[in-house]
């Protein structure tokens, strides 16, 4: 193979499309019975006998959704799969297969794509999904990634965004705001690095939030927990854009309002301390931050005893009549309208 002049890297233009696809996908062998045919033919063949199929897709663009200055390609491959699996779990379904499509410019050597696919393969292994296809093409500038995820569920298990009823409890998994703060920390270090490339950042104190940004996990475990507890959420959505905007989606589609209690929003200690350092309001960060990939769902009041005390789940509020509107009840008991428009416009409210 031809080596890239400067860096001992393998130039993609010398590989040929088919050789490249074969090379990148060689370790992506099917693990599931439902994958009849995976990569290699014109289409994959799946058999999800008897169950409903759910499908979700995402497109990620370099410079818009990710920055390769601090995002290692292996993490990017992992995260690209994770964000799609999160959408499947948000339907209360189980993810089974994904397709991964990439477009790259010739600035990317083979080794870069190998790293990316190592991350894809790791996510596929950990989450037990098969990579069953994709597409590979060139781009004039930068990298584009599209992942499509498929999953299955019994029809009666599926959770939509439109099922929330007044008096239902509003529940979130995990904790919020970490991914956004991790991004803030990485961005700050990137600026420091620009001025002084010798400077090695000490990210240890921020490891939790940096990991939340670079290597998020999807809450497959919550789907299992809910099944074990025999709780079927009345509505569910994943928190990709920040709690506030996801609550508003859920309320709008269900035709309801809600009260969200500021003092109940789950925050990791690192989130609180980093907010102090950056002079950010931790509630604002949780409401508007995004990329946490936790699940937000509503349950009937009578299911409360089943989830009570579960360390993965926090009741953060309750659903109200639509006419009441959607509000944040602040620590000092003020009733503030929730808005989806992020930081500044919310601060003015």
> Which residue carries 């808005």 as its tokens?
339
What six digits make up the tokens of 236? 């569910």
Q: What secondary structure does DSSP assign to 229-283, as a single string?
A: HT---SEEEEESS-HHHHHHHHHHHHT-EEEEEGGGS---HHHHHHHHHHT--HH
> Which residue carries 């890297």 as its tokens?
9
Smaller CB separation from ligand ADP, 102 or 226: 102
Which one of 44-52, 129-137, 245-253, 291-299 is the stretch in contact with Mg ion (CB under 5 A)?
Answer: 129-137
Residue 65 annotated as part of some ligand binding site: yes
Q: Is there binding between residue 25 and ligand ADP (CB under 6 A)? A: yes
Dihedral sign for Cα atoms in the order 305, 225, 285, 343: negative
Phi, psi of 137 (to 5 degrees): -150, 175
Q: Is there binding between residue 135 and Mg ion (CB under 5 A)? A: yes
Nearest approach in angstroms of CB 18 to ligand ADP is: 6
> What is the Cα gyration radius of the chain?
22
Q: Is there binding between residue 163 and ligand ADP (CB under 6 A)? A: no
Smaller CB separation from ligand ADP, 27 or 304: 27
Phi, psi of 142 (to 5 degrees): 75, -170
Q: Is there binding between residue 263 and Mg ion (CB under 5 A)? A: no
Which one of 7-15, 38-46, 139-147, 289-297 is the stretch in contact with ligand ADP (CB under 6 A)?
Answer: 38-46
Q: What is the rounded distance in angstroms from the CA atom of residue 209 to the CA atom of residue 274?
A: 9
Which one of 133-141, 142-150, 173-181, 211-219 is the stretch in contact with ligand ADP (CB under 6 A)?
Answer: 133-141
Binding residues: 42, 56-58, 65, 87, 117, 134-135, 161, 238, 240-241, 291, 343
Q: Which residues of this protein are in contact with ligand ADP, per CB under 6 A?
A: 21, 25, 39-42, 100-102, 131, 133-136
Write out the residues near Mg ion by the rule CB under 5 A: 135
Residue ranges of the annotated binding site for Mg(2+) are 42, 56-58, 87, 135, 238, 241
């Amino acid at each position: 193979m031809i080596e890239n002049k400067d860096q001992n890297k393998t130039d993609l233009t010398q590989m040929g499309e088919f050789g490249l696809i074969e090379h990148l996908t060689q370790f992506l062998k099917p693990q599931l019975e439902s994958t009849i045919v995976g990569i290699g033919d014109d289409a994959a063949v799946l058999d999800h006998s008897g169950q409903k199929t759910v499908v979700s897709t995402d497109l990620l663009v370099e410079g818009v959704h990710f920055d390769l200055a601090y995002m290692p390609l292996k993490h990017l491959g992992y995260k690209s799969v994770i964000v799609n699996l999160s959408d499947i779990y948000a339907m209360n379904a189980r993810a089974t297969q994904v397709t991964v499509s990439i477009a790259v410019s010739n600035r990317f050597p083979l080794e870069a794509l190998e790293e990316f696919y190592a991350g894809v393969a790791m996510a596929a292994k950990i989450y037990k999904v098969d990579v069953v296809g994709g597409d590979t093409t060139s781009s004039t500038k930068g990298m584009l990634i599209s992942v499509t995820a498929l999953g299955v569920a019994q029809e009666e298990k599926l959770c939509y965004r439109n099922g929330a009823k007044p008096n239902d409890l509003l529940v979130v998994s995990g904790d919020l705001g970490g991914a956004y703060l991790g991004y803030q920390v990485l961005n700050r270090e990137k600026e420091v690095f620009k001025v002084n490339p010798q400077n090695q950042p000490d990210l240890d104190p921020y490891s939790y939030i940096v990991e939340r940004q670079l290597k998020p996990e999807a809450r497959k475990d919550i789907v299992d927990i809910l099944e074990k507890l025999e709780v079927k959420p009345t509505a569910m959505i994943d928190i990709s854009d920040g709690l506030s905007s996801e609550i508003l989606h859920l309320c709008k589609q269900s035709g309801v309002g809600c009260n969200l209690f500021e003092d109940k929003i789950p925050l990791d200690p690192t989130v609180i301390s980093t907010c102090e350092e950056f002079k950010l309001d931790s509630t604002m960060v949780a409401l508007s931050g995004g990329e946490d990939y936790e699940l937000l769902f509503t349950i009937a009041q009578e299911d409360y005893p089943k989830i009570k005390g579960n360390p993965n789940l926090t009741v953060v509020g309750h659903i109200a009549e639509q006419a009441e509107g959607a509000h944040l009840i602040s620590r000092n008991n003020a009733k503030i309208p929730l808005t989806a428009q992020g930081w500044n416009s919310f601060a003015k409210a």
